Amino acid sequence: MKKLSPFCIVFCLLMLSLFLITPANLALAGAYPADHGILTWEYSEFTKAFRSHLQNNSLAHLVPLIAMLIIGLLGYQYYQNRLFRQKRLQELAEARSAIASLPEQRRAWHRIQSSLDCSFKMIHNDKPLPTLHKGRIVDLSGGGCRIASKQNLQIGDSLLMNLQLNPRQKLAIKGTVVRTEFEDDSCPDCTAGVQFLDMSEKARDYIIKWMFKHHQAIAEGTRRVNEGLCLRCGKPLPIDLRETLFCSQCQSIRETES
């Protein structure tokens, strides 16, 4: 559930203050009846009437107020969720359009170079084996990927892959090995082409959106390098720092993070 926005918090505080102002003013009038023009009542009579009024009418005031608050909050949350969904759909449409318009589009899915860590399990008799293998995805598309691993993969092997595109998006995808590449006989490392199987549209949309953002990040990084800008913050670099790609401040931050 999303956190309440400042607008909602202010609205709640405003309504609560309106609810408390009337009893507070009445209590103040009871404490200082002469200052508020109450000259015909004795103080004890006023406080007795005020207490009776609160006891008899508290629910009558409280229930409508709570109902108004609930209706207001639900309406605001519905409006925000609708805007969020429309924004996501628009981003996805832009991502699909951008991927489709990329140059050298000759296959059903354009591949984007990447360096994503992943893990996978071999599938035997439709059941994943317990051993977890590590790998690195060197390119990715909406229909498959190429994965580099020390595991000796063979054409036809079935895999259950775990992909983490960002800290909040982790995908479990089935795939089958359709081709393999080995650097040489002495190197056990294998690069395998994997075709995704039975992928949901939601998972495919996540991948396409990630590809779009990754492609944009690469293009922006290339532009900054060509224009002599800091790769991290985009500020102009002195000539003597252009080979390092980062300004002194960003370089210090990178060293601290590492």
Residue 1 or 183, more confident: 183
Average pLDDT over residues 13-17: 56
Average pLDDT over residues 48-71: 63
CATH number at residue 147: 2.40.10.220
Integer CA distances (angstroms), 157 to 47, 120, 151, in order: 84, 12, 11
Q: Model pTM?
A: 0.54
Does residue 25 sit in the same domain as residue 81?
A: yes
The answer to the question of residue 215 being in a domain is no
The answer to the question of residue 18 being in a domain is yes
The answer to the question of residue 211 being in a domain is no
**Last residue of one domain, picked from the residues 100, 131, 148:** 100
* b/e sequence 157-176, b meaning 16+ C-beta within 10 Å: bbbbbebebeeeeebebbbb
Q: In this predicted structure, what is the pLDDT of residue 233?
A: 92
The answer to the question of residue 107 being in a domain is no
Written as six digits, the tokens of 61 are 């005031």
Does residue 142 sit in the same domain as residue 200?
A: yes
**Residues listed for the chain:** 258
The answer to the question of residue 212 being in a domain is no
**Last residue of one domain, picked from the residues 100, 127, 153:** 100
Asked if residue 98 has pLDDT above 70, the reply is: no
**Last residue of one domain, picked from the residues 54, 80, 100:** 100
Q: In this predicted structure, what is the pLDDT of residue 149?
A: 92
The answer to the question of residue 66 being in a domain is yes
Domain tally, the chain: 3
Where in the sequence is the domain holding 91, given as residue range(s)?
6-100
